[in-house]
A and B are shown apart, each in its own frame.
Chain A
Amino acid sequence: MGVLDRLLGQRGPSSRDIAKERLQLVLAYDRIKISPELLQTLKNELIAVISKHVEIDREGVEVTFSQGKRRSRLIADIPLVSTRGHRR
């Protein structure tokens, strides 16, 4: 297979690249023990709590996580609704 790929000029990412990418993604979830459903719940509750105090753009809220060496972090990007318009 390898030699043949070489001769034909390899197309697309190698299976090594695919393996690495898949592993990084699956481990990101494994390590934080947060399922996509839990992430959605977190997002909904964050929106509820924060919008009690400040006006936010609910549609624009993004809750994701990023992966460090052996530590992942949860990142919430919560756009505030601009208050400038009200002054006009």
Chain B
Amino acid sequence: MGATIITITSGKGGVGKTTATANLSVALALLGQRVVAVDADIGLRNLDVVMGLENRIVYDIVDVTEGRCRLRQGLIRDKRVPELYLLPAAQTRDKTAVSPEDMVRLCEQMRDDFDFILIDSPAGIEQGFRNAIAPADKVIIITTPEVAAVRDADRIIGLIEAEEKGPTSLIINRIKPDMVRYGNMLTTADVIEILAIDLIGIVPDDKAIIVSTNKGVPIVLDDKAPAGLAFHNIARRLLGEDVPFLDIREMPNIFERFVRFIRKG
């Protein structure tokens, strides 16, 4: 059997790849899966800080591929959940330090010992991106409902199709329900219609994400946050469960909550 290798990518930077990788990794581990999160953004290491594991790094992915340490030594265990490991990117090298073949070899080495390998891709369409998708069984594209992000997502989908990677599925991140309601943001349906790929999750904009990143505690570990719930649902869908999508209109803003409260009273 072996692990399913999933690459999380976007084209545009800053849309939530690293946050999604961290949260899906933790959520899958909470669901009892054996997970490795791989940071493929060599030279711009970030997954470690988002996961809160930056102080525990000794070796990195380039040390492993260049044989300076064994694979097991490169993996950092996240002690908050049962079976989760991080393979950090190298910070002092650049993306040419690893080749697509290295990535495939590395992931094959880990496949038998894990259920999921999640790869955090760098932004862009250059070698870092090619490294990240080389070993992928599935690719998750993440976008926000904004013109530039959707355009880049479309380009990425085209490149992945050309490489015959996939299947691909989409996460729409940072949806602002009140802006959608007033016709000031692309809807989930709009984005799906434009990109014509399968949807695997929608994540509402949530200030708690910033707090969780400040602390280095992925938001799925906080069971009250809407974004955390959204990532949990995506993890369950990755396991084949049929989980209904969040109805983001169901999440009232403070004003509406107040109105409802008054009406009830």
Tell me whether chain A's interface is mostly helix, strand or loop, or mixed.
helix
Q: How many A-B residue pairs have CB under 8 A?
A: 54
A19 and B182 contacting across the interface, CB-CB below 8 Å:
no
Q: A22-B147, A24-B194 are in contact. Are A30 and B179 (CB under 8 A)?
A: no
Which segment, of B184-192, B203-211, B244-252, faces chain A?
B184-192
Closest to A16 in B: B183
Closest to B157 in A: A70
Q: Chain A residues with Cβ under 8 A from B180's Cβ? A: 16
Q: Is B178 an interface residue (CB 8 A)?
A: yes
A2 and B154 contacting across the interface, CB-CB below 8 Å:
no
Q: Chain A residues with Cβ under 8 A from B45's Cβ? A: none
Scan residues 193-245 of chain B and give those whose CB is less than 8 A from a CB of chain A: 194, 196
A2 and B182 contacting across the interface, CB-CB below 8 Å:
yes
Partner of B186, one of A10, A19, A30: A19
Q: Chain A residues with Cβ under 8 A from B190's Cβ? A: 16, 19-20
Q: Chain A residues with Cβ under 8 A from B178's Cβ? A: 2
Q: Chain B residues with Cβ under 8 A from A38's Cβ? A: none
B147 and A23 contacting across the interface, CB-CB below 8 Å:
yes
Measuring CB to CB, which residues of chain A are less than 8 angstroms from any residue of chain B?
Answer: 1-3, 5-6, 10, 14-17, 19-20, 22-24, 26-27, 30-31, 69-70
